[in-house]
Amino acid sequence: MSTAEILNLLKAAQAAPIMDDLAKAYVQNSTATQGLQLYDLEAPAKILVPVLTPLRNIIPRRVTGFGSQANWKAITGINTANQRAGVSEGNRGGIITQTTAEYLAAYRMWGLENSVTFEADLAVGGFMDLKALAVEQLLQSLMIQEERLDLGGNTSLALGTTPTPSLVAGTAGSMATQGAASVICVALGPQAYLDVAGHNDGVTGQIFDPTSAAVPGQITKTNTDASSDTFGGGSAQKSANATVSVTGATGSIAATVAAVKGAWGYAWFVGATAGTERLAAITSINSVVLTTYPGSGQLASTLTTVDSSTSTLDYDGLFTQAAKSGSNAYYATLATGVAGTGTALTADGAGGIADFELAFATFYNRYRLSPTRIFVNSQECINITKKIIANGGAPLLRFTLDAKDITDGKIQAGVVIGSYLNKVMNVNIPIQTHPLLPPGTILFYTDQLPYPMNGVADVIRKKLRRDYYQLEWPLRSRKYEYGVYADGVLQHYAPFSLGVITNITNG
Amino acid sequence: MHFYHPQNTATSLSWQGEQFAPDANGVFDLPEAAGADMAAFGIVQGDPAPAESAEIAVPVSQWKNVDLLAQAKVLGLELPPDIKRPDLIQAVAAAMKVA
């Protein structure tokens, strides 16, 4: 074979396709979990949940409880008859009279459970400590639930039956003509409001969705040991239905209901006819304008006709203690105003909020004290700032900037009212956004009483029979079971030092 | 008690579970106690001002069959008792222009 022939054969061989058994090459698989490649998994898992418990964090915890309830007595008045002090010659003075009061608060147990199966524990390998995580998140979940109890637990304030709403048919929507469109309202206590609106504590991204939200009536909870508890979910008994004749096709219904003391909001059910009312809206004021008939969502007919506002498993939270009759707390419900619009806080034209000034004057005039914290929703945080800075049309702020302070043509905007001076008692009160407070409700909190030798080290405290403890249950199946519990009650020695302004609209 | 919505936008209402419909003039006949609740809807106690009749809005040339004295009363005109028809037409027309 000549050299030329060999060269030609080589060229032909190189030009021909390579046989399959010689063509294998390693390529990156398009699927991350297949092919010869390492799986770049960052360990451990990120935990993207807020755990916000500002009240739980500041309320002192005292593990001094025993018995079935905490009991205490208080002296609520000395020289109540205003005995005059003048004394005539050689005679003794008059006798003063005192008043006392007796209080009690029954202990409650609160706890949650979690488990890890043997298989889950084996599967996790060295990725993370699953059993430790299970207990850690159990504790965090319990703290969040405890915060809900501290703020809005309700064992004794029955909201009763929601008043029948007043309705007026209008033309601001897209409702079709109906002879008797029907509306039902349900007043929502704190726990029910949070369930319907979403509390975004321990979870994120929750918003009210009328197609999936459900007003809780009586809740039956199945426990780990297969026992069950039935308790009120926090909602009042639904109202009787009210009807109006809607003229379409731009029909609408404006609705108001008498404000319910102890409610955080109102759920509105509407239907084209009686019996078809579905959840359409929740409001944190006592009115709404309904513009459509919901095609889906919770039917009001699924709510039983009982008052579900209280729970035998709760203790009374701060809001409930303020709303209870006899607490003597400051409780202001802003006026209904225009249906669907409501009433906003009012600037006093002197760098303050008129509604706050009234509250502070009342606190002083009646009890000679000042709140030490103001808890608000984000809505009120913004609106308080806006109203104070705008000052009823005479703005308090003027930005004067030196040119050298302007970088790249940018200036920083935005101010916030971080605290509020109680003019009456010259006390600077921090304003703090609370994650669970609903829009339209403000809570005044007092952790110090200006009374001498009052014997109250903590105005508010968690009196506990036992603080947080973890149970690792004996094995009864192929999973590790854990429980985290606490036992006690929220004890408030001076509920008259609490204050609430509610039914505030956004504006 | 008579209640009405100044913008005449209320076509039906419900108070304390009872449904009420307006009459031809948009007037609701409600218990006096409803007044406080109705304020939230812009519904006020009283009767609406008389509306202009359909006839008074038509051109003057078409008024010959209209009761001009009634129209003058609607417009609040004070007229001499012996006024002649042409003068009456002029007075009503002038009042209409001003209105």
Interval A233-250: pLDDT, tens: 999 999 999 999 998 788
Of A171, A241, A336, the CB nearest to B40: A336
Confidence of residue A256 (pLDDT cuts 50, 70, 90): very high
- pLDDT at site B52: 55
| Mutation target vs A (from B12, B23, B44; most A CBs, 10 A cutoff) | B12
**Dihedral over Cα of B57, B61, B63, B69: its sign:** positive
- Tell whether A170 is within 8 A of chain B (Cβ): yes
- Measured between CA atoms, the residue of chain A closest to residue B21 is A245
The ipTM is 0.79
Query: What's the mean pLDDT in A402-413?
Result: 80
Using a CB–CB cutoff of 8 Å, tell me whether A180 touches chain B. Answer: yes
Of residues B52 and A444, more confidence is placed in A444
Name residues whose C-beta falls within 8 Å of residue B59's C-beta, 6 or more positions apart in sequence: none
Q: Which of A306, A298, A251 is nearest to A277 (CA)?
A: A298
- The shortest CB-CB distance from B40 to any of A164, A183, A337 is to A337
- Check if the beta carbon of residue A267 is closer than 8 Å to that of residue A300: no
Scan residues 11-70 of B and list those with Cβ closer than 8 Å to A: 11-17, 19, 21, 34, 37-38, 40-43
pTM for the full model? 0.85
d(CA B48, CA B9): 13
**Above pLDDT 70, what percent of chain B?**
78
| Highest averaged pLDDT of the listed ranges A167-181, A434-448, B80-94 | A434-448
B99 pLDDT tier (thresholds 50, 70, 90):
low
Q: Strand, helix or coil at B86?
A: helix
Distance from the B69 Cα atom to the nearest Cα atom in chain A, whole angstroms = 37
Q: Which of A95-99, B10-14, B50-54 has the lowest mean pLDDT?
A: B50-54
Contact A392, A347 (CB under 8 A): yes
Cα distances (Å, whole numbers) of residue A312 to A111, A128, A479: 15, 39, 31
> Whole-angstrom Cα distance, residue A231 to residue A220?
7
**Residues A372, A373, A374: CA angle, nearest 5 degrees:** 135
Phi, psi of A354 (to 5 degrees): -60, -35
Closest CA to A241 of A312, A321, A172, A301: A301
Residue with tokens 């004067």: A400
Length of chain B counted residue by residue: 99
Q: Does A338 touch chain B (CB under 8 A)?
A: yes
- By the 8 A CB rule, do A418 and A478 touch? no
**Nearest-neighbour CA in chain B from A251: distance (Å):** 9
- What does the pLDDT look like over A377-391, one tens digit per residue? 999 999 999 999 988
Cβ contacts of A474 within 8 Å, gap of 6 or more: none
User: Which structural domains are found in chain A, ordered by start?
Assistant: 54-74+99-157+314-502 (3.90.1690), 166-302 (no CATH)
* HEC-encoded secondary structure of A113-147: EEEEEHHHHHHHCCCCCHHHHHHHHHHHHHHHHHH
Q: What is the DSSP letter of A46?
A: -
Subunit contact A166:B41, Cβ cutoff 8 A: yes
Among the partner-chain residues B5, B19, B42, the one whose CB lies closest to the CB of A244 is B19
Could you give the C-alpha distances from A299 to A179, A211, A221, A483, in angstroms and in order?
A: 20, 10, 21, 36
Which residue in chain B is spatially nearest to A240 when comparing CA positions? B17
* pLDDT computed for residue B98 by the predictor: 61
**CB pairs A-B closer than 8 Å:** 67
Closest-CA residue in chain A for B28? A168
Dump pLDDT digits (tens) for A156-206. Answer: 999 999 999 999 999 889 998 878 999 999 999 999 999 999 989 999 999
Q: Which residues of B touch A171 (CB under 8 A)?
A: 9, 11
Strand blocks (E) in A352-478: 373-376, 419-422, 427-433, 442-445, 460-472
Chain B hits for A169, Cβ within 8 Å: 10-13
CA dist., res. A346 & res. A465, Å (int): 45
Residues 6+ apart with CB under 8 A from A242: A164, A165, A166, A167, A182, A183, A184, A255, B14, B17, B19
